[in-house]
Structures are given as C-alpha cells and as structure tokens.
Amino acid sequence: MEPRQLRLSSDGAQSSVSNNSTDETSLQQRRVRRCRICKRFMDYEVLIVHMQKFHGIEMAREVSTVVRPKKRTTRCEVEGCDFIARSQLAYIKHMKVVHSPEEKLEHYVRCPLCQVPFDEHENLVEHCRTDHGDEQCVVEMRTFQNAKECEEFIYEDGAILVKFCTRHMNHDLSVPDLPLSKADRDVIAGYLRRGVGVDIIRDIIRQKNPNPKTRLHWIRNDDIRITSATLQYEEKLKERIASSSSSEVRGLRQTKLDPAEGDTSISAATLLEESFKCEDDQIGRSDDVRPMNSAISAESLLGCSSCIKLAEKVAELEAMVRKLSEQMMEVNGAHDQLFESAVKVEKS
C-alpha cells in the first residue's frame, strides 16, 4: 500500500510540476507576478496590495515599456519613381493617381462614338474628322490677353454660347428612373376616373406594356398615387375657378341691375306706361282735329318728355350690358390664365 501511495504522490508531484510550469508561462503572458514569501501567483496590481497588506512590504510600480512594431513601408515599383508608401492603402492610392493611364491626363475627354480618351479638344476633333468622317467638326481658335478677357469676350451681359451633346454619355440610361410623360399620366388618369384600384391599374398597365424599354412597363404604385393626387388637385382648381367666376358675375349683376336705396330712377315699365298715358292725353286733346284711329307721327313722339327719359334709360341699359360683357370676358381670360398656370406647375 505504501509504495503505491508514494507512486501516486510522485505522479501527482510530477503532474503538479508540469502544471506549474505551464501556469508560469501562461501567467507571464498575463503580466502576473509571484509572491516571494508565500509563493502565490497573482496579478501585478493585486501583488502590490498583497505585499503591503500581508507582508508589510511596499513595492515600487514597474513602468512597462511597449515596443510598437515598425510600420511596413512599400516602395513604388515603377521605374524612376522614388515614392515610399507607409501603408498599403497609400500605395494603392499612389498607383491610381500617379501611374494610372487615364488619370495621367489632367483634363481628358472621351469620343462619344468609340470612347477613346484625349487630353485636348483639338485631338478629339482631329480624331472625329479622320476616323469617323465628320468634316463639320472644327475648333475655333481665339487668342486672349488674360483669363478675364477670355471669360467675358462673347457677350457684354456675361452670356456664353455653348455647344454640347444632348445625348446621355458615359452612363447607362435607367428607364424606371425616367419621369412619366403626359400621355402616360393620361392613361393612368383614365383608369382612375373609372374607379379602378391602384394594384389593378398597375397590373393592367404592365400587362399592356410588356416592353421593358417603355416607362409604363416599370410603373409603381407611387406613380399612380401621385397621378391621382394631381388629378384631384386639377379638378378642385377647376371647381374653385368656376365658382369664383360665377359668384363674381352674380355680384356684378346684382349691383348693376338692382336699384339701390334712395335711387329715384324710373323703371322701364313705368316709362312705358307714362309714354302711353302721354299718347292718350295727346289723342284726347286732338279728338276734334283727327279721328281715334289716326297714327301718331314720330315727330310728335320725339317731343314727349317721357320718351326722352325712356331713350336715356335704354342707352344706360345698353352701356351696362356692354360693361357686363367686357367683365365676363375678363373673368374668362383670368380663368384660362389660372388653368394654364396650374398646368405649368403640374408639369414642373
């Protein structure tokens, strides 16, 4: 029994020794220290407190020096270039900016037909004339004394005449990003007036426009909602214009035709009655001279005071009618201008 116990104890000692060795290496990596008195391992900060508290020894704090690794530098591999990059990112940027064949050209332009870059417009023009047969492509040469004169030589108001290509260059055209045309909006408005739902309108229009190069093929629910809001705005605007014009006309008629308070003007019916009475009086006074069925001459009517008042009122009414017609034309013109401005705002 005893040898076995001794062997076990020796094995335990060996295992403890090996464990202690591994612990020491791992503890050294963790910046730990071992107490010289009680042989216990602990963190360096804890060891300072431990030595002062249990053993009455004050330890001086060690200043740990951290050695930073040297930065890896990269030298440019292009012959004749002495640039040294301190990082890989700086090296990539240097190669792209300095040694890229396209970036060497400070102000390069591309041919719109074959995409060949040129550093000057004259070279591009010569290329278009020789390689593409464009004889009308020329460059006008001008010489100026300074930059200010170069900027202000064309027009006195500062305007500059520029010739440019209206086609899309150097990028692909995205059909879904194009705005809806007026014809496309009219198609959507036709379905909206019928009361068709948004999802159903989208499916119907996509089925009727299978070509992916058309804008309606890529129609979205937002496009339909925006068109619906624009249509409602236009209808409300028309209703407001119509109601405002009708109310203005009614107000003008009421103010012009209705008699005001304290107005002593004679109505047309009263004037007619007075004229008839005047005629009867004249006929009664001239019974002994002419018969009852004799006609009244125009000269006698012109001398009647009531007829003169009637003629004046008729002239006033005609002038009032002309003014009302002119105001109606002005209201209609304002209505057309408001409608055109609303259409312009909707288009913009």
Asked if residue 21 belongs to a domain, the reply is: yes
Asked if residue 264 belongs to a domain, the reply is: no
Per-residue model confidence as pLDDT tens for the chain (348 residues):
444 443 434 444 444 444 555 555 454 455 677 787 887 887 878 888 888 888 777 776 655 554 555 667 778 877 778 888 888 888 888 887 777 655 444 556 778 777 777 777 777 878 888 888 777 776 666 676 666 666 555 555 556 566 655 555 555 557 777 788 888 989 999 999 888 888 999 999 999 998 888 888 888 888 999 999 988 888 888 888 888 777 766 665 665 555 544 444 455 555 555 555 555 555 555 444 444 444 455 555 555 666 677 778 888 888 888 888 787 777 766 666 666 666 566 665
Domain coverage including residue 13: 2-54
Euclidean distance between the first and the last CA atom of the chain, given in angstroms as a whole number = 105
pTM exceeds cut of 0.85: no
Asked if residue 14 belongs to a domain, the reply is: yes
Asked if residue 12 belongs to a domain, the reply is: yes
- β-strand partners of 41: 34
pLDDT at 68: 55
Cα torsion angle, 77, 78, 81, 86, sign: negative
Asked if residue 179 belongs to a domain, the reply is: no
Find the length of the chain. Answer: 348
Asked if residue 311 belongs to a domain, the reply is: no
Q: Do 313 and 265 touch, CB atoms closer than 8 A?
A: yes
Asked if residue 29 belongs to a domain, the reply is: yes
Asked if residue 59 belongs to a domain, the reply is: no
Specify the number of domains making up the chain.
1
Residue that the structure tokens 């216990």 belong to: 40
Q: Do 73 and 85 touch, CB atoms closer than 8 A?
A: yes
